[in-house]
Amino acid sequence: MTLPADAHGVYVIAPTPFHPDGRVDDASIDRMTDFFVAAGVTGVTVLGQLGEAPKMTHEESVAIVRRVTARVRVPVVVGVSAPGFAAMRALTQDAMAAGAAAVMIAPPSTLRTDDTIAGYYRQASEAIGADVPFVIQDYPLTFSVQMAPAVIRRIVQENPACAMLKHEDWPGLDKISQLRAWESDGSMRHLPILTGNNALFLDFEMERGADGANTGYCFPDMLVDVVRLSRDGRRDDAHDLFDAHLPLIRYEQQPGPGLAVRKYVLMRRGIIASDTLRRPGAALAPVARAEVDYLLERLARTDPRARVGDPARPAV
């Protein structure tokens, strides 16, 4: 599978399921992957920040890519961000050989100035191979690197292999509008923009011109619906569904415990067997679990997918 030039829909950010003892849980990967496909995702991104990539050895990482690409017929994007190009190149080569469609690269947190950021992406593209499609991850909240729209345009223009923007700047609505305006006036080629940030602004991002979502909220099936409703012009319906999920979206978007929330709900939904995070990574405190349970109960009043049964007896 290759990354289409008009990529759109939901490229779900896949977490990495672990057994309670920390080993990778292959059966859960398979079940989760099947669930994603059934939910209608158009792509899968593995080994991102919330895929706990830095906690995995190179061999484990490659095995996950292989497992997922073998199971799906949609493009698989692989996070390869690394402090140095040697590790980035090594993972890229093995990931592409294993059937990945593209890689995703976040900037190192020390980058400042437009020139430095643009220079980094030129060097990275050269390092991994100028023919390997790459996705820019623009997430200043986590990576401390702020990319002005003009920098993104520069990266697009300087790198034919730049194939998508994972947009998660905050605030970021005007950035989408600006990039689309440049496409309209011909000063930038078309770039698929899929948005992250746990979908906190997906409702309006779609209306500003985003092509879809590239995030891992615990109800990717809802993301698929919102993207579809929005693309179909059913604005109120899109917002109604989105708003029903917003209390949980917001709760899951918290930088620290967010991933634990996501895994907990995926476990409650029967999609993965355990909500274990690899160390360092705190389990959800009982009070937080109870808060999530309450949010699920409330959500279930309008979205039956949130009926996850008794927390004492998880679905799996």
**Residue 281 burial by Cβ neighbours in a 10 Å radius (0-12, 13-18, 19+):** middle
Minimum CB distance to a copy of itself smaller for 231 or for 278:
278
Shortest separation between residue 254's beta carbon and a copy of itself, angstroms: 4
Nearer to a copy of itself, 247 or 309 (CB): 247
CB of 194 to a copy of itself, least distance (A): 20
Q: Shortest Cβ distance from residue 190 to a copy of itself (Å)?
A: 21
Q: Which is nearer to a copy of itself, 72 or 127 (CB)?
A: 127
- Distance of alpha carbon 99 from the chain centroid: 19
* Closest CB 33 distance from a copy of itself, rounded Å: 22
- Nearer to a copy of itself by C-beta: 288 or 316? 288
Report whether the peptide linkage leading into residue 15 is cis, meaning its omega lies within 30 degrees of zero. no
Please identify, using beta-carbon distances, which residue of 39 and 259 lies nearer to a copy of itself: 259
CA dihedral sign, ordered 57, 285, 307, 238: negative
Cβ of residue 74: shortest distance to a copy of itself, in angstroms? Answer: 27
Which of these, 251, 121, 290, 49, lies nearest to 262 by C-alpha position?
Answer: 251
Helix (H, G, I), strand (E, B) or coil at 238: helix
Distances, alpha carbon 217 to alpha carbons 11, 184, 208, 246, 261, in Å: 11, 31, 21, 11, 10
Site of interaction with a copy of itself (CB under 8 A): 52-58, 60, 82-87, 90, 109-110, 112-116, 119-120, 123, 126-127, 140, 146-148, 150-151, 170-171, 173-174, 177, 200-201, 203-204, 207-208, 239, 242-243, 246-247, 250-251, 254-258, 278-280, 285, 287-288, 291, 298
Give just the sign of the alpha carbon dihedral 152, 155, 160, 166: negative
Distance CA 149, CA 71 (A): 36
Q: Which is nearer to a copy of itself, 18 or 36 (CB)?
A: 18
- Smallest gap from residue 57 Cβ to a copy of itself (A): 5
Query: What value, to the nearest 5°, has the Cα angle with vertex 283 and ends 281 and 286?
Result: 155
